[in-house]
Structure formats: structure tokens, C-alpha cells
């Protein structure tokens, strides 16, 4: 196994690595820097685009461009012009609530949750954006929405509320996009960090970034811990398999921790990392069908 910093992008809050099979390119974001990045599998040909608000996540669209979770709602993004077009805002309990992590289900819906940036109140919600661009709420009572991903067959939805220290599993109805039977999948201990961005590999195992504790964790489908990887930075934020053979694990990180008492140090903070030699493959990401 080899861990390498491949892009010195210096992200304030790097998040959301996204490998696109069709383009053979990796995308990621700087939430607080309000940027989208794109690069080759090895970190070359880096491009970036500015967005008008803090960005929680993005997904590519089937017909081109992207869908974005910006602070106040969901937007369509045009890479050619850099324009963001509002799909719809969401009702927020106050100015400290913004939309955060999101991914696309097997039927092309975009599922994304909101969070309290002070990480104090449970005023966050989980939303589903349909292929008709309709927005509906599918869960609530969330402090920090993170790590949405699905089992390989799409029947189980995994989702972390970081401040609960837990990854939760739901039964997921692919026909309707509804969730049910919420139960705790995995609980993080004090030395595991907090569950942040996540992905599911081809074997159905869940990978989660243990932010603030330099950890990446892999959980078996029954929720048991399979392995832990120690990273050379404190604030690892999200993970995604990509590369030509889907066997490189990309990891984002943050330069500045928003939580009091957590200090990131070292020249690698904010970099994009690639882990090779794991002998594990990921799954292609579905594009948003709206």
C-alpha cells in the first residue's frame, strides 16, 4: 500500500472526491474556498471553477454539467460558462444551517443533507432531488449530514450524522427514493474520529473518513470494523475509489479545522491524496438524471 499526496491544492475544507468513468477525471471541492476542482487520475491537468456560495457537494449530470449543494439550496452548474442556476432553495431553521454532503442513487436521484455549521443543533435535514428537479425532505433531526452512499444493489442507504459518532443504515426503496427502518450501522470511538465522507466498494464494504483523528475505516456489511488506515494528516474528510481500474482510493483533506481545539499541522494539510496497492476496487458513480 502506498499513500501519496498528488495535488497540493491547499483546500480550506476539501471534500467530495468524485471519479467519473466516462470522463476519466477526478472532481473534488473546497467547501469554504467555494471551488470545484478537476484533475487526471494521477493529479495532473488541474482545473478549477468558482461557485457563488459555500459548496457542500456536487454530482455530474447525465446530460452534462453538474448539480450542486450550495449553502441555501440546489443548483445546476455549467462548466463551460461557470454559471450556477437555482433549482430551489430549502427551508432553513437559521443562518447557521447549510446543505452539505450528497451523492446520486442508482436511479439518478441526488440525495443531500444539511447541517448546523456550529455543530450544535439538530436542525439539519436530508433531501432527495428527483429527476424532475423536485425537492423533498426524507429525514430530519440531523446535526451534521455526511457520507451518503449505497450498498452495491442500492437497497441499503448509509448516512452519517457526524456528531452522533455513528453511521446509520436505512432500507432504501429504489422505486420511490423513500427511506425506512433507520438503524445504527457503526459507532465511532473517541480515537476513531468522527464519521465524515464515505463510499462503498465493490465487495459492499463501507469506507469512512475519521476526521480529526488521521484515520480511514473500512466496515464489513454487518457493521464490524475490517481495517483502519493511518493517514499523514489529522483532518481527512472524504474518500472515493477511482482511476482507470477503480482501484485507487482518493482522499480529501482540510487545511483549517472549523472545530475549536483541533489544529491541523504540516505541509500536506489540504492536499488531495491517492492510496494505491489496496487490492480493492470501487463502483462507478451514477450521474444525476435530472
Give residue 264's pLDDT: 66
**Residue 119 confidence (pLDDT):** 84
pLDDT in tens, 36-53: 999 999 999 999 999 999
Please state the rounded mean pLDDT for residues 86-109.
Answer: 93
Comparing CA positions, the residue from 49, 8, 41, 12 lying closest to residue 25 is 41
Average pLDDT of the residues in 1-24: 97
CA distance 56 to 14: 10
**What residues are designated binding site?**
15, 98, 100, 146, 196
CA–centroid distance for 244 within its chain: 21
Q: How many CA atoms lie within 13 A of 68 on its CB side?
A: 30
Segment (H or E) for 37: strand 35-39
Overall number of domains in the chain:
1
pTM for this model (two decimals): 0.97
Residue 287 lies inside a defined structural domain of this protein? no
The CATH number covering residue 222 comes to 2.120.10.30
Residues in binding site for a divalent metal cation: 15, 146, 196
In a domain, 290, yes or no: no
CA–CA dist 290, 274 (Å, integer): 31
Is position 203 within any domain? yes
pLDDT of residue 120: 84
Give Cα 166 to chain centroid, integer Å.
16
pLDDT higher than 70, residue 261: no
User: Binding site membership for substrate: which residues?
Assistant: 98, 100
| Options 105, 116, 196, 247, the catalytic residue | 196
Kindly report, residue by residue over 103-151, the tens digit of the pLDDT. Answer: 999 999 999 999 988 888 899 999 999 999 999 999 999 999 999 999 9
> Grid coordinates representing 103?
451523492
Q: In the prediction, which pLDDT does 233 show?
A: 93
Give domain status of residue 284, yes or no: no
Residue 108 domain flag? yes
Average pLDDT over every residue of 179-203: 97
266 has pLDDT over 80: no
Amino acid 187: pLDDT: 97
Classify the C-alpha dihedral 2-102-10-8 as positive or negative. positive
Q: Residue 205 — φ and ψ, nearest 5°?
A: -90, 145
pLDDT digits (tens, 9 = 90+) for 200-233: 999 999 999 999 999 999 999 999 999 999 999 9
Domain contains 288 = no
Q: In sequence order, which residues have a C-beta less than 8 Å from that of residue 30 and are 6 or more positions away?
A: 9, 11, 12, 13, 14, 15, 37, 55
Mean pLDDT of the chain: 95
Domain, as residue range, for 92: 2-276
pLDDT value for 263: 64
Q: Is residue 215 part of a domain?
A: yes
User: Has 196 been annotated as catalytic?
Assistant: yes
Instruction: Tell me if 232 is assigned to some domain.
Output: yes
CA dist 274 and 282 (Å) reads: 14
Q: In 3D, which of 152, 145, 159 has the Cα closest to residue 31? A: 145
The C-alpha angle 238, 176, 290, rounded to 5 degrees, equals 65
Amino acid at each position: 500500500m502506498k499513500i501519496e499526496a498528488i495535488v497540493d491544492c491547499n483546500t480550506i475544507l476539501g471534500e467530495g472526491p468524485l471519479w467519473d468513468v466516462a470522463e476519466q477525471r477526478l472532481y473534488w471541492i473546497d467547501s469554504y474556498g467555494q471551488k470545484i476542482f478537476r484533475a487526471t487520475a494521477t493529479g495532473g491537468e488541474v482545473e478549477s471553477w468558482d461557485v457563488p456560495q459555500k459548496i457542500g457537494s456536487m454530482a455530474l449530470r447525465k446530460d452534462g454539467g453538474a448539480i450542486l449543494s450550495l449553502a441555501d439550496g440546489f443548483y445546476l452548474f455549467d462548466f463551460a460558462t461557470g454559471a450556477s442556476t437555482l433549482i430551489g432553495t430549502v427551508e432553513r431553521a437559521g443562518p447557521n444551517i447549510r446543505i452539505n454532503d450528497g451523492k446520486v442513487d442508482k436511479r439518478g436521484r441526488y440525495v443531500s443533507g444539511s447541517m448546523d455549521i456550529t455543530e450544535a443543533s439538530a436542525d439539519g435535514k436530508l433531501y432527495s432531488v428527483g429527476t424532475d428537479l423536485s425537492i423533498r425532505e426524507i429525514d430530519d433531526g440531523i446535526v451534521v449530514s455526511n457520507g451518503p452512499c449505497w450498498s452495491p444493489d442500492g437497497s441499503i442507504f448509509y448516512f452519517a450524522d457526524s456528531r452522533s459518532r455513528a453511521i446509520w443504515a436505512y432500507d432504501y426503496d429504489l422505486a420511490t427514493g423513500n427511506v425506512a427502518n433507520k438503524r445504527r450501522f457503526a459507532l465511532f470511538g473517541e480515537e476513531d474520529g468522527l464519521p465524515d465522507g464515505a463510499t462503498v466498494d465493490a465487495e459492499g464494504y463501507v469506507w469512512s473518513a475519521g476526521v480529526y483523528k488521521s484515520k480511514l475505516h473500512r466496515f464489513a456489511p454487518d457493521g464490524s470494523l475490517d481495517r483502519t488506515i493511518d493517514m499523514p494528516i489529522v483532518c481527512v474528510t472524504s474518500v472515493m475509489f477511482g482511476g482507470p481500474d477503480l482501484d485507487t482510493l482518493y482522499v480529501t483533506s482540510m487545511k483549517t479545522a472549523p472545530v475549536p481545539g483541533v489544529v491541523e499541522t504540516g505541509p500536506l494539510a489540504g492536499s488531495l491524496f491517492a492510496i494505491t496497492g489496496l487490492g480493492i476496487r470501487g463502483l462507478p458513480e451514477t450521474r444525476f438524471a435530472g
